[in-house]
Chain A
Amino acid sequence: MSGNGRVPLWGPASGAGWSGAPAPRVPTPGAAVELLGASRWYGNVVAVNDISFVLGGGVTGLLGPNGAGKSTILHMLAGLLQPSDGLVNIHGAPSWRNPTVYRDVGLVPERESVHSFLTGFEFAQLNARLQRLPDPDGAARHAIEMVGLTEAADRAVGTYSKGMRQRAKIAGALVHDPSILLLDEPFNGMDPRQRLQMMELLGRMAEAGRVILFSSHILEEVERLAQNVLVIVSGRLAAAGDFREIRRLMTDRPHTFTLRSSDDRRLAAALVGHPSVFGVQLDGGRLAVRTSDYAGFARALPVIARAGEVSIWELRPTDEDLESVFGYLVQR
């Protein structure tokens, strides 16, 4: 990455509001994208809870389980939702009720949102015209070329595959060369090849100096594409920063497995002796094992079982879903 004055990603606002007077909300100068104490609630349901961060370039992944509030954040940034509290700024100006920010912002919504009778080119051209570009045809052609849809440019969007429709939406979002690109679950429903193409495209655009923020609930997608990650759980910012660091924190946590075997008691006794295991519990016909070393345990278990002549009938991780990974992060 070339150093283009990237403002480092900031973590959550440091406990402002709970002790003493709330800290004054001062926007960061020069920030392309900034949330400052932003919250959004629907009636009694809080979708986004006091989130602050600053983005200044490169690809950032907005990671979180379904319903965590990722779309709410993107919609607030795109001026399609009013923050209930706090600031949501694009280049220092609030995005709510401020259509001028759309000169600098491109949004790729999650829903299918292109009239199916338009061709890919017509859709890009339409976006260019609505952006009042001086040469809408040229801009549209350029955008179509960038997403690799030139071959299919004159076919109706209704005949496109899901991946092509996604690329048509992206072409429409970047036809005016926005400095900020927001994408809501851009990889949903794509096959592996389309995913790869999309990742390359987003990577290229980031290299060209854009701020790219995309949401996903799939760890691997974020891992492959994003340098920075914002982890959202239940509307709160659970982790923020360099992806590798976050990833390390996620894997070096205790794992729990449940086992059923021909002789739980004997197996439990044998397992306690192994260094990777630091907790064993016998509970109603089930054996729960806690380990801090995932790989070591996986290698040791068959050996221990065979030595003790115990047949293992069932082995399952109890907390391998994304929610529990996030849950662990939130507890810390």
Chain B
Amino acid sequence: MTGAPPSGLAPALPPASRPTAASGRRSVILTIAALTARSLLSRRRSLLLALLATLPVAVAALVRLSGRAGIDDEAVATAIMDRLIVTTLLPIVGLVFGTAVLGAELEDGTAIFLLIKPIARWRIVVAKLLVAVGLSIVFVAPASFVAAAILQVGGPGWSGAIGAAVGTAVGATVYATVFFALSLVTGRALAFGLIYVLVWEGVLAGLLAGIRALSIRQYTLGITDAITHPGVTNPNLLDLPAALVLSGVSIVIAAVIAVRRLSSYQIGQADD
């Protein structure tokens, strides 16, 4: 190891004199978010979700075009708005994006270069959550709005469509945040997320009314109903303030858990 250093090789600077640019303090979050969005959308499989997202609109259009023989309008609208969008599409989208933005990257190792940067971990959480929540809303709320508008949910006027869009947007935010936190707590977030959606919300919340306060689906339905039918209270659903407060509390708790978990993240025992 002798001889002069090759040209083009910068001498190592002592740590103190290294430029610590104040610029780009904000852009770090945007940089991470842009990369995450790119990695999620650049693949074939997000096409699958897009397809699923357009399905409610297509079915609603079919219903409208068929001219409707006039029986159980309510049942058809419920099947599309409630079962297809709120019960199926919404949690799926939240589950996929919530677990994919960081949990999957920690699993396959692509998140390591992010963690070994002089960036406070909460910034990483914020950036990842922005993408998870943003994409979840984009994949659900517009479809929900259009489907509700086509089906004229809640009678003529836009209240039904707005209610559906706002309700699913809030629901998407809560689902994505909660599943994001779950993906930092356990490596099997997807399995537990599915059980939560299918068993807790799908079965138990139907049997035990008390569980409604802990069901994201119920927050969504409560908000949607309150906007669609202003002034009318449905005793089977959460009222607007309760749904909003519970949603907000869920988001804050999940985000705090996520920051705490990521701040003390330890690499898996893939030793040697």
Contacts and interface: CB of A to CB of B under 8 A. Distances in A.
A99 B117 contact: yes
Which of B12, B42, B269 counts the most chain A CB atoms within 10 A?
A: B12
Interface stretch (A200-208, A271-279, A324-332): A200-208
B205 to A, nearest CB: 37
25 contacts: A68-B272, A80-B267, A81-B266, A81-B267, A97-B264, A99-B117, A100-B118, A103-B18, A103-B20, A103-B118, A109-B112, A130-B28, A130-B32, A131-B117, A132-B25, A133-B19, A134-B23, A177-B13, A179-B12, A179-B14, A205-B9, A206-B1, A208-B5, A208-B10, A227-B1
Contacts of B117: 99, 102, 127, 130-131
Contacts of B113: 113-114, 126-127, 130, 172
Nearest to B8: A145
A69 interface: yes
Interface string A142-180: 100110000000000000000000000000100011010
B235 interface: no
Nearest to A59: B1
A117 B38 contact: yes
Given A1-B1, A82-B264, A209-B11, A132 B6 contact: no
Interface string B1-35: 10101101111111100111101110110011001
Given A71-B270, A71-B272, A126-B35, A78 B116 contact: yes
Interface in A229-244: none
Given A42-B269, A82-B266, A204-B6, A133 B21 contact: yes
A290 interface: no
7 tightest A-B contacts by CB? A111-B109, A113-B109, A80-B267, A130-B117, A134-B21, A209-B12, A102-B118
A82 B267 CA distance: 10
B115 A80 contact: yes
Size category of the B interface is: 35 or more
Contacts of B13: 177, 179
Contact of A115 (B10, B39, B272): B39
Interface residues of A, number: 63
B120 interface: yes
Interface of A: 1, 42, 47, 59, 64, 66-72, 75, 78-82, 91, 97, 99-107, 109-115, 117, 126-127, 129-134, 142, 145-146, 172, 176-177, 179, 203-210, 215, 217, 227
A156 to B, nearest CB: 11
Interface string B235-272: 00000000000000000000000000001111101111
A306 B61 CA distance: 95
Nearest to A207: B5
Contacts of A72: 271
Identify which of B8, B25, B32, B118 gathers the most chain A CB atoms within 10 Å of its CB.
B118
A132 B110 contact: no
B51 interface: no
A126 B31 contact: yes
Interface of B: 1, 3, 5-6, 8-15, 18-21, 23-25, 27-28, 31-32, 35, 38-39, 42, 109-110, 112-121, 263-267, 269-272
B40 to A, nearest CB: 11
Contact of A208 (B11, B15, B264): B11
A70 B113 CA distance: 19
Contact of B1 (A68, A80, A114, A207): A207
A190 to B, nearest CB: 18
Given A80-B112, A126-B35, A130-B31, 9 more contacts: A67-B271, A78-B116, A107-B116, A115-B110, A117-B42, A129-B27, A142-B8, A142-B10, A227-B1
B121 A146 contact: no
A130 B119 contact: yes
A179 B13 CA distance: 7
Contact of A105 (B20, B112, B116): B116
A71 B271 contact: yes
Nearest to B120: A99
A80 B31 contact: no
Nearest to A102: B118
B127 to A, nearest CB: 10
Contacts of B12: 177, 179, 208-210
Nearest to A200: B6
Contacts of A204: 5-6, 9
Contacts of A227: 1
A130 B266 contact: no
A18 B170 CA distance: 60
A230 to B, nearest CB: 14
Contacts of A78: 116
Contact of B9 (A104, A105, A132, A208): A208
Contact of B119 (A70, A99, A107, A110): A99
A129 to B, nearest CB: 5
B114 A130 contact: yes
For B11, B24, B39, B116, which residue has the most chain A Cβ atoms within 10 angstroms? B116
A210 B11 CA distance: 9
Contacts of A205: 9
A287 to B, nearest CB: 36
